[in-house]
């Protein structure tokens, strides 16, 4: 299984809602990533988990809260988002957090904040 | 800091034309280099990679060679198809980036029948 899955595929939420994005991989990878991608831009790194521990937080606002319950699962909890947070949210994984390891991306969750 | 510069599109070609998308990089140490492709409405797929100088990555008719002397990793394909229409991202990882991907801005390719 060489797939990263993400749910939901689409999400529409109001600014007062709380929602969560889910990412799963069964490749035995020990590094998992969240990216945000705006239209016509490359992905921007948000968070990195390495061996289920938060390794990198790229100064992301606290309204985004990541969680890594186990080595296969990565969540992104959303609360009090702003319309400018509307974007494609991509999850990725790699064997470990090292440069020579390619990252495998999921299909993304397209988030719209009203 | 590490960076990737790739030609900005959009690039429009006719089917069976030759493709070259230029990519150059700046990095500390010896980066690994990647090309990712993003089809409309989808996530990123790894197209090919090279981890050391003179390596050639290839997949689905696409090729790119890691050129240390020119710090380049140009993407080439001899005959494009309509199904190759997508956005192509050049990227690198290095010790300086803690193993994280540094992306170019992306090049949109449209192939007309």
Mutate to test the interface with A, among B101, B103, B108 (most CBs of A within 10 A): B101
Range 4-33 of B in CB contact (< 8 A) with A: 31-32
Q: How confident is the model at residue A2 (pLDDT cuts 50, 70, 90)?
A: low
From residue B96, alpha-carbon distances to A54, A58, B28, B55 in Å are 19, 15, 6, 21
Which range (A30-39, A70-79, A92-101, B39-48) has the least confidence? A92-101
**For residue range B23-34, what is the model confidence (pLDDT) as tens digits?**
999 988 889 999
d(CA A81, CA A86): 9
Question: Higher model confidence: residue B77 or residue A99?
Answer: B77
- State the smallest CA–CA distance between residue A103 and chain B in angstroms: 8
d(CA A60, CA B35): 26
- State the smallest CA–CA distance between residue A98 and chain B in angstroms: 4
Q: How many CB pairs under 8 A join A and B?
A: 62
Handedness of CA B52, A33, A53, A24 (dihedral sign): negative
- State the smallest CA–CA distance between residue B101 and chain A in angstroms: 8
Range 25-54 of A in CB contact (< 8 A) with B: 31, 33, 40-43, 45, 48
> B22 Cβ partners below 8 Å, 6+ apart?
B6, B7, B72, B74
**For residue range B93-112, what is the model confidence (pLDDT) as tens digits?**
876 667 789 999 999 999 99
Q: Is the pLDDT of residue B59 over 80?
A: yes
Which range (A17-31, A40-54, A90-104) has the least confidence? A90-104
Interface touch A99/B44, C-beta < 8 Å: no
Closest chain B residue by Cα to residue A92: B44
d(CA B62, CA B75): 7
d(CA B20, CA B18): 7
Q: Which two tokens stand for residue A55?
A: 């390794």
């Amino acid at each position: 299984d060489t797939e990263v899955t993400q749910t939901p595929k689409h999400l529409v939420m109001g600014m007062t809602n709380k929602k969560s994005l889910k990412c799963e991989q069964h490749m035995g990878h020990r590094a998992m990533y969240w990216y945000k991608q705006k239209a016509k831009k490359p992905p921007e790194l948000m968070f990195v988990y390495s061996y289920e521990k938060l390794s990198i937080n790229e100064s992301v606002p606290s309204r985004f809260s990541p969680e890594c319950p186990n080595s296969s699962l990565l969540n992104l909890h959303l609360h009090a988002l702003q319309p400018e947070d509307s974007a494609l949210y991509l999850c990725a994984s790699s064997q470990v957090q090292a440069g020579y390891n390619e990252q495998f991306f999921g299909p993304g969750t397209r988030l719209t904040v009203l | 800091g590490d960076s990737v510069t790739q030609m900005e599109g959009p690039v429009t070609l006719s089917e069976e034309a030759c493709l070259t998308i230029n990519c150059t990089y700046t990095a500390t140490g010896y980066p690994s280099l990647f090309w990712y492709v993003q089809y409309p409405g989808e996530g990123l797929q790894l197209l090919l990679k090279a981890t050391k100088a003179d390596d050639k990555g290839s997949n689905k008719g696409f090729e790119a060679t890691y050129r240390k002397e020119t710090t380049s990793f140009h993407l080439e394909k001899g005959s494009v198809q309509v199904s190759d229409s997508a956005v192509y991202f050049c990227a690198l990882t290095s010790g300086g980036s803690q193993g994280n991907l540094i992306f170019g801005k992306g090049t949109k390719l449209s192939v007309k029948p």
